[in-house]
Amino acid sequence: MSARSYFITGTDTGIGKSHASATLLHALRAQGLRAVGMKPVASGCEASAEGLRNEDALLLQSASSPTPAYADVNPYALRAPLAPELAAAQDGVEIALPILLAAHARLAAQADVVVVEGVGGWAAPLSASLDQADLARELGAAVVLVVGMRLGCINHARLTARAIAADGLQLIGWIGNEIDPHMDRRDDNFRLLQQRLDAPCWGRLPYTFQPEPRHFSHLLNVSK
């Protein structure tokens, strides 16, 4: 049986996709599954003795079991904290779909589930010729939406869900991630999201200053 793939997208950048993805990995592992993470393209990487490394990709790697090679978790590590297309151009790199598919295949060979974290919001391109929808489609991945709980999240979540459907992908679930501790009427906003998103909610992650994904895995109810 081939590995399942979940493509994790978000309502925007900076809404906690990495935290939600790592928490999802721990939740899947708690079900007895071999689950590994992937951050196909990551900008804002820092130099290390092992090469360029991205904080979010390292988080996914550490949440994975078995532990995959970093080069497969993050095939394209880009220096500048910019949109991938700009960061790749600055590094003189061309993001190629076959490289991403090959890395994913190596991950899938050792896992039951591969959790693939996208960049920014759904419509953020990976390159001049590659959208995230293209990658998710080629991977045969179902889409999970992380909704950053803040003012405006209902609009952003509904627009993103429509865009995913328009691109021919299946939104199989969403995760609410509380990123604004001062948000008014959080419970009411969450309830409205439940009513208006045509996909089951996989859970709600509370705001925390220093999130530790494994401590919140019990809050996610992953649809099989």
End-to-end CA distance of the chain: 15
**Burial (Cβ within 10 Å: 0-12, 13-18, ≥19) of residue 223:** exposed
> Would you please indicate which residues are annotated as catalytic (active-site) residues?
39
Residue 13 φ/ψ region, left for φ over 0, alpha for ψ in the -120 to 50 degree band, beta for the rest: beta
Measured N-to-C along each axis, helices 55-63 and 17-30 cross at an angle, to the nearest 10 degrees, of 10
Number of Cβ within a 10 Å radius of residue 186: 19
User: Can the peptide bond before residue 66 be classed as cis, meaning omega within 30 degrees of 0?
Assistant: yes
